[in-house]
Structure 1
Amino acid sequence: MFSGKLKLRKFAGLLLAAVALTSFYSCSDDDDNNLEEDTARLTVRMTDAPGDYDAVFVEVEDVMIKSDLEAEGEGWVSVGNVQTGIYDLLELTGGVTQLLAEAEVPAGHLGQIRLVLGNNNSVVINGESQPLSTPSAQQSGLKLQVNQELEAGEQYEFLLDFDVDQSIVTAGSSGGFILKPVIRVSATAETGMIIGEVHPSAVGGLGIQTVVKATNASHTISAYTDANGAFVLNGVPSGTYQITVTPEAASGLSAKTMSNVEVSSNATVDLETIFLD
């Protein structure tokens, strides 16, 4: 599914309804931070949960914040240093994230983050590209609640995780597709990570597309394996999860389930190698 996809812009390295938004707080006395007095450093990254499409392109125009320190208008200001461009969300799986913004912002109460998307959004299905229309309510940007106190001299990181399957809606009898972003937001320091490898990663010389999903009563986090079978589930809130590994049907392999996987904040759970048969 990944081969032959149109790539308008691809970045190496690593934006669902927003169900939770927490902050990444990290104490540091390192003078190399070089933060100005009364400012904090804010980092925003984007990743994606799997979706059954060839490609899903979204155009990022801005990342804005609403600070109580802004007295004029609604208080919305761009964070600056925004990595604008068109991104294929399906390239941001398996632990890959895209840096969207990293800047110094005023310390104090941060009410919301707004992700502003452009009009150049599209989905590729069976090799055919179709436009993704954006409802008028979303054109001013998707607002995500933060309600976080930013302390001067500290660093805060937010991971915006698109749920592609829920974010793309068929436009009824008129045909076409509508983009209604559904985003899960997490904080690196307040969540954990699940990693591992799935084998075999290929059958008959062809790569296997496998989805790894962690679920409990409150959360669902998923990612594809890469070409080598490796996977990373980022931003997993603390708790006990069931892990489901589901290879594509054409592989002829059976799904596998693991229960009672414990995840703690700021820790990595290594499931090592998961063998399918």
Structure 2
Amino acid sequence: MKITRFLPFAAAALLGLASCSKSDDSDANGKLEVRLMDAPGDFRSVVLDVRQVEVHLKEENDPDGWKTLGFTPQAINVLEYVNGRSALLVSEDFAPGDLKEIRLILGPDSYVIGTDGQRYDLKTPSGQTSGVKLKLDKATLRQRSTFQLLLDFDVAKSIVERGNWNPGKDKKERYLLKPVIRVVAQDLRAGIRGTVTPAAALPQILAIRSTILGPDTVSTSADASGAFQLNGLAAGTYQVQFFPSTTAPAGQAPYRNATRTGVNVTNDQITDLGSVSVQ
């Protein structure tokens, strides 16, 4: 498995990887599956206006390598896909070969709903003109096999508040979209799951693995029952951190941060942490 970090957004870019087969012989094709999941942020909704998707099948500087995909423009709320849930965006026959990168054109109607319930338009530098790109490293489709990409969109890092914004200014000028995506080739399907108590703490959860390129961090949040699951992890040893997002009711012990160290994750297996207390 190869993990690639790249700033330009592609969380919805692969929504339209359909009808890309170069061959009429379906037996010679592979299958491409694309799933979308999200690392949560401090918003009620994050809606992306996706207008056009192109895939590049040749070398980076070859202008003839781009192919426009059969994609229906749509708005996608990426916050619907957290806590181990993912959306199956594509399951299509695809001619064998290498995928080099994806280019996404965004429309003008992307926006967030803040914790204050207000809508704020998202400005996307270059996304509405030249497009934003996601490079793929060693994404090779083979005959009669399935290649799956999991796109992990990090909302907290991708949406940036303008440094000079204040409540008296136009709400449209508050946020910029500078996408951060973690891409996992799904020949590995490892994960971590567990349950947090008390569930009312609603913690944010980070799984951190040290690599030669620096920490590889994946995040999610526990649901109302306290359950959580992180998918698409590389094998290795992780530190799992828990950060309650609420305060304990009066008369109860306060919620506290918690950490589990030395969590071993093995290829194609889900590591169960059991119950983790944050009180």
**Structure 2 residue identity aligned to 1:153:** R
Give the drift of 1:165.
1.3
Which residue of 143, 157, 161 maps to 1:152? 143
TM-score, normalising length from structure 1? 0.78
Task: Supply the distance in 1 between the matched residues of 2:198 and 2:97 (Cα, whole angstroms).
Answer: 50
Partner residue of 2:118?
Answer: 128
**Structure 2 residue identity aligned to 1:166:** K
Give the drift of 1:214.
0.4
**Does 2:41 align with 1:39?**
no
Partner residue of 2:209?
Answer: 216
**Structure 2 residue identity aligned to 1:76:** W
Partner residue of 1:32?
Answer: none
Task: Supply the distance in 1 between the matched residues of 2:194 and 2:111 (Cα, whole angstroms).
Answer: 32
**Does 2:77 align with 1:88?**
yes
**Structure 2 residue identity aligned to 1:196:** G
Asked if 1 retains the 8 angstrom alpha-carbon contact of 2:204 and 2:219, the reply is yes
Deviations 1:98-123 (A, max 9, x none): 22222222212221233443322111
**Structure 2 residue identity aligned to 1:66:** H
Q: Which runs of 5+ in 1 are unaligned?
A: 1-15, 20-34, 203-207
Quickly say closer, same or farther: Cα 1:172–1:209, change in 2 above 3 A: same
Asked if 2 retains the 8 angstrom alpha-carbon contact of 1:59 and 1:85, the reply is yes
Quickly say closer, same or farther: Cα 1:43–1:170, change in 2 above 3 A: same
Partner residue of 1:248?
Answer: 245
* 1:61-210 correspondence to structure 2 within 5 Å: 61-68=51-58, 73-80=63-70, 82=71, 84-125=73-114, 126-136=116-126, 139-146=129-136, 147-173=138-164, 175-202=173-200, 208-210=201-203
Deviations 1:21-73 (A, max 9, x none): xxxxxxxxxxxxxx80332211111111121122211123344322239xx95
Deviations 1:165-188 (A, max 9, x none): 111122343642111111001123
Quickly say closer, same or farther: Cα 1:275–1:222, change in 2 above 3 A: same
Asked if 1 retains the 8 angstrom alpha-carbon contact of 2:196 and 2:277, the reply is yes
Instruction: For residue 100 of structure 1, give the secondary structure of its aligned residue in structure 2.
Output: strand
Task: Supply the distance in 1 between the matched residues of 2:272 and 2:103 (Cα, whole angstroms).
Answer: 34
Task: Supply the distance in 1 between the matched residues of 2:176 and 2:57 (Cα, whole angstroms).
Answer: 31
Task: Supply the distance in 1 between the matched residues of 2:84 and 2:144 (Cα, whole angstroms).
Answer: 28
Asked if 2 retains the 8 angstrom alpha-carbon contact of 1:189 and 1:265, the reply is no
Asked if 2 retains the 8 angstrom alpha-carbon contact of 1:216 and 1:242, the reply is yes
Task: Supply the distance in 2 between the matched residues of 1:117 and 1:103 (Cα, whole angstroms).
Answer: 23
Quickly say closer, same or farther: Cα 1:194–1:160, change in 2 above 3 A: same
Partner residue of 2:277?
Answer: 275
Greater mean deviation of Cα atoms: 113-122 or 185-194 = 113-122
Task: Supply the distance in 1 between the matched residues of 2:128 and 2:184 (Cα, whole angstroms).
Answer: 21
Partner residue of 2:19?
Answer: none
Task: Supply the distance in 2 between the matched residues of 1:243 and 1:124 (Cα, whole angstroms).
Answer: 29
RMSD: 2.5
**Does 2:27 align with 1:54?**
no
Instruction: For residue 216 of structure 1, give the secondary structure of its aligned residue in structure 2.
Output: strand
Q: Which runs of 5+ in 2 are unaligned?
A: 9-24, 166-172, 249-253
Asked if 2 retains the 8 angstrom alpha-carbon contact of 1:83 and 1:101, the reply is no
Greater mean deviation of Cα atoms: 209-218 or 138-147 = 138-147
Partner residue of 1:205?
Answer: none
